[in-house]
Structure 1
Amino acid sequence: MIKAIITDIEGTTSSISFVKDTLFPYAYEKMADFIKVNIENKIVKNIIIQVAEEAHINPNNIELIISTLRQWINEDRKIAPLKDLQGLIWENGYSNGDFTAHIYEDAYEKLLYWHQKNIPLYVYSSGSVYAQKLFFAHTNYGNILHFFRDFFDTKIGNKKESQSYQKIIEKIAIPAPSIIFLSDIEAELNSAQEIGMKTILVDRENQIKNSHHHPIVKSFTEIDLKISNSDIV
């Protein structure tokens, strides 16, 4: 009996290309100017300190800070200060109308259906919670932020480590067997499954021939959890 759904974003609700080809390059291009203009901002200052500590470099060397952050973008590193800074930069992009977050039609329709059924929905993504909220507040279907009860990022733990999912179930207070996790990354699903969550592998690009551990769907349309209102706590 499913009582909650946790979903990934990139490759699951939304296209990988939007993140890789729009969001990441935008942050890369705007990063230097953003840091220099906002150098006295307390949040930006704190991010710079965190970057310096992580990379073991001088926080006063702003050019090195910027080049380090850009290197992390190129390497697709899941590092908290980078994700926090990207979120701040993307906020400008959304506000200026430079781009709109992409949601697959099937994902939007299913998320709307589950929301209307009062099924608790959560997001767990490597992007910062701040960036996740910006994303769902500026989609091609409008602001759907209200669909979700809560958001989780790598501050709760690595998505490929089972203890991260344990922390999530403790926070939302729903037993693991009553939760289903949706992702396009099998290693993440394995970790969720280790602590008892149910899982579905979303393979939009039809790249996975088979999975011995997780049901595979090509879109949210194929997900039929047979949930009724009586199942919801």
Structure 2
Amino acid sequence: MSPRVDADAVVLDIEGTTSATAFVVDVLYPYARSRFAALLTERAGEPEVARAMAGVRELTGEPDADAARIEKTLNAWLDEDRKAAPLKVLQGVVWSEGFARGDLVAHFYADVVPALRAWHAAGVRLYVYSSGSVAAQRAWFSATPEGDLLPLLAGLYDTENAGPKLEPASYRRIASAAGAAPDRLVFLSDRRGELDAARAAGWHTVGVRRPGEPYYAVGVGDHPEAGTFAGIRVGGGGR
């Protein structure tokens, strides 16, 4: 049965929801890994890079860690798929430049972009909430096979400006920033823990379950679920 949600705004997870996790792991992670060394040695004086390097040193308790040590830590975090803020920032720097150069083109499941355009045309506001940095999100949605999708989006949120995705307080911050009542927002994600947190904050939720994704077998608990965006109806009165 297709989920029908009475809401004014949709908040999107990316990895496993709009886009294949395999693309992130098999394409984006190696791209970042191959460029960390140059970034850390040649551009350490840039404010954004310097802050992220300081963040790595703080999280590891190694105040004297040099570029090589920081690179090793970043690669270890990549192997663990750890959602560390400094890693996300540095990935965002590398990926933004890769998308801008045309080295990278974002992946979206075939059902996603038509749904986003239809919701936007119907007056539904669209937001993104991802563990990837806002810079990475902006690059992702601007460099797609369907062209620049940023005009469809009303706002971008990450773990820096909203908070951790498993905490209800993060979803309350997003609702406040978006100027939306919690019960007028719906969160689409493939992870039950994130959906639980959003629901605890008063949001609607839909679990997106795509075969082949890491969380497919786990399921989404008692949240409404859909296999594609085409099966989700959003709007006033559940239309």
TM superposition score normalised by structure 2: 0.90
| Match in the other structure for 2:123 | 118
Shift of 1:209: 7.6
Is residue 185 of structure 1 aligned with residue 191 of structure 2?
yes
Is residue 135 of structure 1 aligned with residue 144 of structure 2?
no
| Match in the other structure for 1:159 | 165
User: What are the Cα deviations for residues 130-162 of structure 1, in whole angstroms up to 9, with x where unaligned?
Assistant: 100000000111110111100110112110111
Letter in 2 for 1:213: D
Q: Quick one: distance in 2 between partners of 1:212 and 1:14?
A: 21
Letter in 1 for 2:205: T
TM superposition score normalised by structure 1: 0.93
The answer (yes or no) to whether the contact 1:59–1:65 under 8 Å persists in 2 is no
Q: Quick one: distance in 2 between partners of 1:110 and 1:157?
A: 27
Q: Quick one: distance in 2 between partners of 1:115 and 1:129?
A: 20
Letter in 2 for 1:188: E
Shift of 1:58: 2.9
Bigger CA drift: 41-50 or 14-23? 41-50
Q: 1:143 to 1:67 in 2, by over 3 A?
A: same
Shift of 1:40: 2.2
Is residue 84 of structure 1 aligned with residue 84 of structure 2?
no
Identity over aligned residues, as a percent? 36
Q: Quick one: distance in 2 between partners of 1:125 and 1:42?
A: 23
Bigger CA drift: 56-65 or 185-194? 56-65
User: What are the Cα deviations for residues 17-45 of structure 1, in whole angstroms up to 9, with x where unaligned?
Assistant: 11111111110111112221212222211
Shift of 1:111: 0.2
Say how many residue pairs are matched.
Answer: 229
Q: 1:208 to 1:75 in 2, by over 3 A?
A: closer
The answer (yes or no) to whether the contact 1:6–1:122 under 8 Å persists in 2 is yes
Is residue 221 of structure 1 aligned with residue 225 of structure 2?
no
Higher RCO, 1 vs 2 (CA within 8 Å, ≥6 residues apart): 2
Mind listing any 5+ residue stretches in structure 2 that lack a counterpart? 1-5
Q: 1:58 to 1:180 in 2, by over 3 A?
A: same
Mind listing any 5+ residue stretches in structure 1 that lack a counterpart? none
Q: Which runs of 4+ in 1 moved over 4 A?
A: 208-212
| Match in the other structure for 1:73 | 78
